[in-house]
Amino acid sequence: MSTCPPLPPNIAEFAAPLLLGTVGNWMLYGVLLVQLYVYVYNFPRDRRLLKLLGTSFLHRQYDVLSNSFPTVYTVFSLETLQTVLTGVDLYHWFATGFGRFDSLTDPNMSAFDGPIIGSVVSLTVQFFFAYRVWILSEKKSGWLCIVICVCSLIGAGTAFGGGVYTGVRHRFANGRTLKVLAFTWLSSTILADMLIAVMMLYHLIKRRNAGDGFLSNRALSRIVRLTIETNILTTTVAIVSLLMVAIFPRNNWFTCPTAVLGKLYSNTLLVSLNNRIAIRDELTGRGAVVKTRSQAVMFRGTTPSRDATGSMYVELEKVQHPLGERTPSGDSLGQERVFDLS
């Protein structure tokens, strides 16, 4: 009976990144499921084809924020495939390959489900935000949007090449070729994210200061804050991945942050789309909408006040909208259901 060779004392440096990266990937997939449910429930009138590959048009007052190419179902399908394949990888590393060090150095399917699928997702999301920047700038920032798209394409191309290179060698390579590919991939991704964040912040703050009635200052502040948070998150993880490649070139620590990078981008996409709920609340005064077969009745409340006795009260204003017309919180068919008494 053959025996396995002894395991090296630093086995954790090879096993831990694979395990932690896979667990983090699965956790973010759970978050993505919740985000998808929120999106489908709140925006059922987004046409199915447009959800797949098209453009989503909403209320004209915040159409500039939602007029995009949200490949929601395509991204979700890719992420589902990646999650399944990471389960196959985990089984290969820690079940069939248990006790064998060479299993931990074999990428198995991770060369495909990591950099290749992740690069397609990140490319899609960065193109989505580049288009959003173009719309926010009133189509005046074409060259900067092209720069963002070029950086995204370079990053996706080198990530794809790194995945193919690793898969062909059947091991987590640590040579000069992979190092150059990884540096180019992550540096381009970081640059694209930073350009997106700076341009979106610039145009949103410009609109807020102009006071052109585009959205309330509160709504715009919410969008600015969300832009900062989401872009800082993806940029930070990409920087950590880049540092892992530079500091630990002889092991696979870099696989841990890169394993969750694609899921962060897909969650960023859906968080951005679901943020339209908050924008809609701003446009409707955070009212409660009740629908009947013939009309929509909205009770819009004022800011709580106190009377002479110290009792708190809220004045309600009843507004009716025929279902055949565009309602403040629904689509052109009046189909959207909103019950918000907060």
pLDDT at 328 over 50: no
Q: What's the whole-number mean pLDDT along residues 98-123? A: 87
3-class secondary-structure state, position 296: strand
Overall average pLDDT of the 244-264 stretch? 87
Q: For the sheet with 288-291, list strands across it.
A: 288-291, 295-301, 316-322
Candidates 68, 76, 75, 329; CA nearest to 200 is: 68
Please tell me the pTM assigned to this model: 0.76
Question: Higher pLDDT residue, 208 or 63?
Answer: 208
Which is higher by pLDDT, 332 or 106? 106
Looking at residue 216, its pLDDT comes to 60
- What pLDDT shows up at residue 307? 56
3-state SS class at 322: strand
Residue with the bigger pLDDT between 187 and 175: it is: 187
* Residue 94 dihedral angles phi and psi, to the nearest 5°: -115, 0
